[in-house]
Amino acid sequence: MNAPAKQKSWRWPVAIVAMLCLHATGMVVVMLVATHDPSFSVEPNHYQKALAWDAQSARRRASDALGWKVDLRTEAKLDAIRTRGLECRIVDGDGKPVTGATVALLAFPHARGEERVRMDLRETGSGLYATRAPMARAGLWEVRLSARRGPDYFTSTVMHTTTGTP
Q: pLDDT-based confidence at 147, cuts 50/70/90?
A: very high
Q: Given a cut of 80, is residue 50 above it in pLDDT?
A: yes
- Mean of pLDDT over the chain: 89
One-letter amino acid of 85: G
Whether the full predicted model's pTM is greater than 0.85, yes or no, is no
On whether the CB atoms of residues 130 and 83 are closer than 8 A, the answer is no
Residues 116 and 137: their CA atoms lie apart, in Å, by 12
Residues 52 and 116: their CA atoms lie apart, in Å, by 22
Question: Who contacts 67 (Cβ-Cβ below 8 Å, separation ≥6)?
Answer: 92, 93
pLDDT in tens, 103-144: 999 999 988 888 899 999 999 988 999 999 999 889 999 999
pLDDT at residue number 11: 85
pLDDT in tens, 21-33: 999 999 999 998 8
Residues 124 and 126: their CA atoms lie apart, in Å, by 7
Q: What one-character DSSP code corresponds to residue 103? A: E
Residues 121 and 104: their CA atoms lie apart, in Å, by 6
Number of Cβ within 10 Å of residue 103's Cβ equals 22
